[in-house]
Structure 1
Amino acid sequence: MTSTTRYAPRRARPGFFAAPFVLASRAFRPARPGRITDGAIEAAQIARTTVGIAATAWMIYAYPMQESASAIAKDKFAEILISAGVLVVAGPLILALFVLAARTPARAVYLRRLKGPLTGFGALFVSVLALFLLLQDSGGARIAAQFGAFQIVFLLLALLTVLFVVPFGLTAAVLCVHYVFRTADVHEVLPPLISPLLVWAMFGVQYFDSSPVAAPPSVRILFLIGPPLSVTALSVWELRRLRTHFGVTIRSALHRQRPLTR
């Protein structure tokens, strides 16, 4: 009688140009074992994003543009960076309040689960810091001068670092907003609680910004108020679905359920 040993297939290593995107996905995608995942919630989020993209494309097609296509693209990218900045500031504060509000033993569990969000925060911080040191006021050239005869080696390494960090940082900015800085790794109720705060903060930014197209005021108001209202409604529905299908509520997450009375 012979026995055979099965080996798990080795994960293929990404190439240099694909590595920034793969590593950014690993850094910002929630990965806690046992985390509640619901296909209906994920489908609703994808549907909302698809409708939003289609509506934006229709508005740009239907009305004359007041800005160039490149300017519109830059504005949208700037909004993503602002959203990431809002999460960098508000995310740790909300996480701290959530953990402090939780009763034992939940508090100790959530403290251990902070590893996921901290991984995302650390990855984004390191990428931004590296770009700042290398690109701000020719920082890379000034640092290379300190290496004397080996400065060409440093410059080559700095170039490779920039080629890696730029796509990693751009992907990280998008994914940290989409996955709300991996707060689902701490608890499933956190993303629907934080998402409305993010979109209403962006509503305040867009309110004072000029419209990229010459649309009627009613259309502009609809496109301005639509995203925060739809995200808020989706978050409320997500919290309700967590309660009705999985028995998860904010009170239960904090271990503050009211005791049953007979």
Structure 2
Amino acid sequence: MSIAARTRYTGGTRTAGCLRLLTLPFRTAHRLFRPSRQDRISDPAITAAQVARTAVGGAATLWLIRSYPLQESAADVAADQVLELFLSAGVLLVAGPIALACFVLSARPSVRAVYCRRLAGPAAGFAALLGSAVGLWFLLLGGAVQVTQALGGMPIVGALVSTAGVLFGIPFGAAAVVLSVHYTFRVGDVSEVLPPLLSPVLVWSLFVVQALDGPPVAAPPAVHALFVAGPPVSVTLLSVWELQRLRTRHHLTIRRALGRSTPFAC
């Protein structure tokens, strides 16, 4: 191998290594929060409809912001969006376990054991999100430095551990919040009927918050009401269609998922 080729190879290897290191928090979060059950039903039409609804919603929001003057600064609008995302994760942290418990307990004993085994995926998502929040809080308060000193080590070691942990934890935590909301904490690993049942609960909870909050732009009341009610209504309709498609195309209903109608298929 020539010197030039060796230099290109070494440079390419280092670049790939740096990219893998920089994307490690995001890849780890995706691995933890993406549903991974091997026999899970994956319908391309449902996925395409969800992507289309998100794209239309994003485009409509951009149109609203460009068409009407902001009533607060752009930074405040962005902060409100981030706050809503964290609020969504908080709602799921409460509603998710309740929904899973009700679903599993409502299932026939013959299939309840199957669902109990599948709870490992959602449990990993819940634990990862809570663990990242607690871990960041611990590191930002200097916990690693204090532990290192208590063990008789050098404070610089604790500082390096804290720095590395924060650099990993912040992007991982941000990705965890986004993916936990997108995949509804992997409840689809338990049964495919759970995401369309849980998603409307999430969006209607946010609807109450948005209805109490003032409009971000100086739009007419009718336009503001449309944009506030549009997301929960569209998600609810999409969830109803998804349940209908699971029934007609994959012969999976809520009763069958609960083992109350034969054959059991989920």
**TM-score using structure 1 length:** 0.90
> What is aligned with 1:185?
189
Do the aligned residues in 1 keep the contact of 2:203 with 2:231 (CA within 8 Å)?
A: yes
> What is aligned with 1:6?
none
Corresponding letter in the other structure for 1:176: S
> What is aligned with 2:173?
169
Pair 1:240-2:232 in alignment: no
Q: What's the Cα RMSD here? A: 1.7
> What is aligned with 1:32?
37
* Partner SS, residue 243 of structure 1: helix
* Partner SS, residue 215 of structure 2: coil
Cα shift at 1:146: 3.2
Residue deviations 1:231-254, cap 9 Å, x none?
000000000000011110000000
> What is aligned with 2:230?
226
Corresponding letter in the other structure for 1:156: L
Give the distance between the partners of 2:262 and 2:154, measured in 1 at CA.
Answer: 67
Give the distance between the partners of 2:22 and 2:156, measured in 1 at CA.
Answer: 22
Q: Counterparts of 1:31-180 in structure 2 under 5 Å?
A: 31-136=36-141, 139=143, 142-143=146-147, 145-147=149-151, 149-180=153-184
Corresponding letter in the other structure for 1:251: R
How many residue pairs match? The answer is 247
Q: Percent identity?
A: 55
Cα shift at 1:222: 0.3
Consecutive unaligned residues in structure 2, runs of 5 or more: 1-15
With 205-214 and 190-199 compared, the bigger mean Cα shift is at: 205-214
Runs ≥4 residues deviating over 2 A: 12-16, 138-149
Give the distance between the partners of 1:144 and 1:202, measured in 2 at CA.
Answer: 43
Corresponding letter in the other structure for 1:173: V
Do the aligned residues in 2 keep the contact of 1:147 with 1:154 (CA within 8 Å)?
A: no
Consecutive unaligned residues in structure 1, runs of 5 or more: 1-11
